[in-house]
Amino acid sequence: MESRIPERHPLRQLFGALAERAFTEKLGWPDFKVSDYVSKLLVDFTHTDHLYRIKNAQGERAEAVVELLYESEVLQEAASVEREREVHQHIGDFTLFMAGLFPEYLKRIKTAGLIYHKDFLVDYIKTGKRSYRIAAEFDMWPSATADRPSSPLFHKLSENFELCVVGLGFIRGDLDRMQDERYHQARRILLN
């Protein structure tokens, strides 16, 4: 995942520490590769242009999971293997991010009185698991790089998708607490 945020930026350090704490201490799953991937995903998606980086054939942003799934089907027919993996990785990333950090958004999509959102019938958990599994099946890049994680990592993300969602929920809780003035007061008292 490419990002414009420098490697030593405090935001990277914050998300890295929160992800490591959530996965290691709160979930009891000390898998550095997973927590590192999640923290990089958080940094990457701080830019909405990254959150909606997949474009359709007309060059428009695919903003709904349904649009992303359609794009992956078009790519499958066109035999663009590298792009298909990228789209499936993005679907996994997008659904994980939304389900973990914004569950109320998903609830609103499902409980609205009128079917107004394209993703009304999409199960983000099943779709995310499936997309990470499909991304893992592409063995074009046997070793991981900064931009292309390894297939075993995608297998882990697929098999443990729900756990990753819970981990992101813990991260969101920590971020919410950091914004609370009482947290800042307590921190000032404890650190002085």
- What is the tens place of the pLDDT at every residue in 121-164? 899 999 999 999 999 998 655 544 555 677 899 999 999 999 99
Sequence-separated (6 or more) residues with CB below 8 Å from residue 160: 29, 34
168 located within any domain: yes
What does the pLDDT read at residue 74? 74
113 located within any domain: yes
Say if residues 157 and 132 touch (Cβ distance below 8 Å): yes
Query: How many structural domains comprise the chain?
Result: 1
Structural domain range at position 110: 56-191
Q: Could you give the percent of the chain with pLDDT greater than 90? A: 56
42 located within any domain: no
pLDDT tens digits for range 31-51? 999 999 999 999 999 998 999
User: Considering the entire predicted model, what is its pTM?
Assistant: 0.85
Burial class (CB in 10 A: 0-12, 13-18, 19+), 12: middle
* Residues belonging to the chain: 192
112 located within any domain: yes
The residue among 118, 68, 128 whose CA lies nearest residue 98 is: 128
143 located within any domain: yes
Say if residues 150 and 34 touch (Cβ distance below 8 Å): no
The residue among 93, 113, 100, 112 whose CA lies nearest residue 158 is: 93
11 located within any domain: no
36 located within any domain: no
Whole-number mean pLDDT of the chain?
Answer: 87
Higher pLDDT pick, 80 / 87: 87
2 located within any domain: no
